[in-house]
Amino acid sequence: MGHWAVKIHQASIDELEELQQISKTTFTETFSAHNSEENMRNYLRDNLSLEKLGEEIKNPESYFYFAEIKDEIIGYLKLNMGAAQNELKENICLEIERIYVLKEYHGLKIGQLLFEKAISIAKSMEMQYIWLGVWEKNERAIAFYTKNEFKVVGHHLFKLGDDIQTDYLMKLIL
Ligand SMILES: CC(C)(COP(=O)(O)OP(=O)(O)OC[C@H]1O[C@@H](n2cnc3c(N)ncnc32)[C@H](O)[C@@H]1OP(=O)(O)O)[C@@H](O)C(=O)NCCC(=O)NCCS
């Protein structure tokens, strides 16, 4: 990291617009090359609206964290526990629903830092495992999770606009 200081803090409802901004930018950077413009537009409108993100950030079982360099938000993490999880919904596990870093900052271990934040939270809550869903074609993210010792344990379906895609379910026992 050289002399850069990356800070991680929990995002609050006062930072809803910043959350929307980083969510839209990173989602677009990650998925627009593989998906139609219309499906991308609909996903951003339906899933990353201020209303939707506002509900998510107010959910006491969801936690958002920002990674920042100086005053710029360059990545974020979304964790779900209990009933906020997309599947499993047990109290012994935690879901990493989103972990995203701006493209220009990839490969600098900022994803790793966010991931370690998730691990430390899961451990402090005495969770038995962490799980996540990742698009089967997202090789970079799969390599990242595999490096961090996640194992594929199944799959589920994810809807991006009218396109039904397969996500691997990956799990890390703590
Ligand atoms: C996945 C992500 C969070 C990782 O963050 P990061 O800060 O780049 O992570 P790190 O620098 O710690 O690790 C990069 C790792 O990605 C993998 N990687 C890097 N470049 C890669 C490439 N071109 N192809 C495949 N894997 C690659 C390697 O495993 C690499 O580890 P290494 O540096 O030890 O070899 C980040 O790449 C990202 O935001 N991607 C887009 C969003 C996304 O797909 N999120 C996951 C959705 S489920």
Ligand 1 lined by 112 (C-beta under 6 Å): yes
Q: Note the Cα 56 to chain centre separation in Å.
A: 13
What is the distance between the alpha carbons of residues 49 and 121, in angstroms, rounded to a whole number? 27
Contact at 8 Å (CB) between 128 and 108?
no
Instruction: Examine the pLDDT at 3 and tell me if it is beyond 90.
Output: no
pLDDT, mean of residues 8-13: 97
- Of 4, 43, 73, 144, the one to substitute when testing ligand 1's pocket (max ligand atoms within 8 A of C-beta) is 144
**145 tagged catalytic:** yes
- Of 28, 140, 147, the one to substitute when testing ligand 1's pocket (max ligand atoms within 8 A of C-beta) is 140
Q: Who contacts 35 (Cβ-Cβ below 8 Å, separation ≥6)?
A: 160, 161, 163
What is the distance between the alpha carbons of residues 85 and 139, in angstroms, rounded to a whole number? 24
Task: Indicate the pTM of the whole model.
Answer: 0.93
The predicted-structure confidence for 13-26, as pLDDT tens digits, reads as follows 999 999 999 999 99
The predicted-structure confidence for 50-80, as pLDDT tens digits, reads as follows 999 999 999 999 999 999 999 999 999 999 9
Q: How far is the CA of 141 from the centre of ligand 1 (A)?
A: 5
Ligand 1 lined by 109 (C-beta under 6 Å): yes
